Amino acid sequence: MPLLWLFILILALGLIGFILGRARALKNANGDIRLLHSLPTYYGSNVLLAILIPGLAVMVIWLILQPMVIQGQVSSMIPDTAYSDKGALNLVMSDVRRVAEGLDIAVEQGTLSHDQARDIRTELTDIRARLGAVGVALGSNVESYVLKAAQKYRTMNAVGNWMMTVAVLAAALAGFAISYMRTNKDMRARNSVEKVILGLLIAAASIAILTTLGIVLSLIFNTIEFFKLYPALDFFFGTTWSPSFGGGSELGILPLFWGTFYVSIIALLVAVPIGLFAAIYLSEYAGPKVRAIAKPLLEVLAGIPTIVYGLFALLTVGPMLMTVFGEDGGLGWMQGGRSVMTAGLVMGVMLIPFVSSLSDDIINAVPQAMRDGSLGLGATKSETVRQVVLPAALPGIVGAILLAASRAIGETMIVVLGAGAAAKLNLNPFEAMTTVTTRIVSQLTGDADFASAEALVAFALGMTLFVITLCLNIFALVIVRKYREQYD
């Protein structure tokens, strides 16, 4: 039975269970809802869940285990002479699967009958041509052991699927029977349904956390792999970045790190004053009408995709800076449109809404009593903002700035398009430089050998960035939390 049908069957069974469970509870209470422990829908839901959870659980576990078991069984049929290492065995096995699938499709389309498919022989039929006719292209002629393995694969799969259907239905029906029999007016259906919902919530939270863990682990393993090929000391303290896939590359992180740092600093120098002043205006001075229009408009900036900012940097800001600081402007500081300044300015614009929106919320959280107290002493509005509101909001604002900083460090598209690709340690902000993120992109795009230090260095770079932004984020959260306690 195809998987989809089985799934729908279980759902239908669940629906029936829902209706029956609800009806049984009502009948048990002689139709009087007040005699029930829970609302009737909870009894229905209880039966529904008792059908779906075992049924789907068996299905998922079976789907994970069955290929593993079959793989083990079938691969033992392949003669040792046919492969040299594990990779080659995998290639043979994928051939086996392809032939098996091809035979299935051929049967489905009617070019082969069931019996023909089962009895087919390499000696008698050109299987490659037959399967090619139904749209399954094979790389080479089918060896006889591949065909035998494929036949075994087909029968085991068929048996397995059939057994799975039985097992899933049995589990679902058992769940149905038990929960249906237990349904009576005193059963605490609401509590058990809520327990399941709690389980769902926990599962959702764990998936998010486990994913993070998985990402970190994959970074760590690849980073360790990299440090086996390239000395860590040279990586962290090397001042030259010149990867060459031919070998003999120098992979020092310092020039990249300097680029990231420089671009981020310029971005923050742009974003922090503008964002902060905008937040002060919006929260302290602007009337409700201006605020209602201006705040969403400012936050639209946060919704612009960074690649669009990158284009803006490349096509507008870069040439604009060139006319002032380039050869044409007479200063001659700038060689091309791509520079640290270009990327930094545009990234600063991107960060404005982060700083302003967060700071605005934090300034608004300062109690009105503080402002009243200051105004009541004869302070002007700006004195109140400068001397009472901002100091009170400062820890929160620092938190907002740190969050913006970690955003700046991780930003990629703007620097790819705006900052250039030359890795150098230079103080001139009008030089093209490159950042950690852009190098990760360039090391992993293209036909790189994933086992080489030149490709693996991307993971070490990513890990370094991850650690830095993680520290910044934790620092920011600690500060924001400390601030929160002040007025509770």
Partner 1 sequence: MNDMRIVRKDVDMNDTKISAKGVQVFYGDTHAIKDVDVEIKDKTVTAFIGPSGCGKSTFLRCLNRMNDTIDVCRVEGKILLDGEDIYDKRVDPVQLRAKVGMVFQRPNPFPKSIYDNIAYGPRIHGLAKNKADLDDIVEKALRRGAIWDEVKDRLDAPGTGLSGGQQQRLCIARAVATEPEVLLMDEPCSALDPIATLQVEELIDELRENFSVVIVTHSMQQAARVSQKTAFFHLGNLVEYGDTEQIFTNPQDERTESYITGRIG
Residues near partner 1 (CB under 8 A): 287-288, 367, 369-380, 383, 387-388, 391-392, 486
Query: Least CB distance from residue 392 to partner 1, whole Å?
Result: 5
> In whole angstroms, how close is the CB of 378 to partner 1 at the nearest point?
3
**Of the two residues 48 and 393, which places its CB atom closer to partner 1 in the complex?**
393
Angle between helix axes 340-365 and 288-303 (nearest 10 degrees) is 140
Beta carbon of residue 374, minimum distance to partner 1 (angstroms, whole number): 7
Classify 141 as helix, strand or coil: coil
Residue 249 is which amino acid? S
Q: 450 by DSSP, 3-state: which?
A: coil
- Name which of 32 and 488 has its Cβ closer to partner 1: 488
Contact 404, 351 (CB under 8 A): yes
Cα 412 to Cα 307: distance, rounded to the nearest angstrom: 9
Residues 6+ apart with CB under 8 A from 225: 456, 459
Q: Do you know the residue count of the chain?
A: 488
Q: Do the Cβ atoms of 193 and 45 come closer than 8 Å? A: yes
- Nearest distance from residue 371's CB to partner 1, in Å? 8
Judge contact between 255 and 239, C-beta under 8 A: yes
Q: Which is nearer to partner 1, 393 or 456 (CB)?
A: 393
Q: Which is nearer to partner 1, 212 or 486 (CB)?
A: 486
**What are 242's strand-pairing partners?**
250
Note whether 458 and 387 are within 8 A (CB).
Answer: no
Least CB distance from residue 453 to partner 1, whole Å? 53
Smallest gap from Cβ 364 to partner 1, in A, equals 15
Q: 418 and 310 in contact (C-beta within 8 Å)? A: yes
Residues 6+ positions from 430 with CB-CB distance below 8 Å: 321, 325, 333, 334, 335, 339, 340, 341
Judged by beta carbon, residue 142 or residue 392, the one nearer partner 1 is: 392
219: tokens are: 């970074």
Q: Which is nearer to partner 1, 395 or 420 (CB)?
A: 395
Q: In this complex, which beta carbon is closest to partner 1, that of residue 154 or of residue 371?
A: 371
Least Å distance, CB 308 to partner 1, is 38
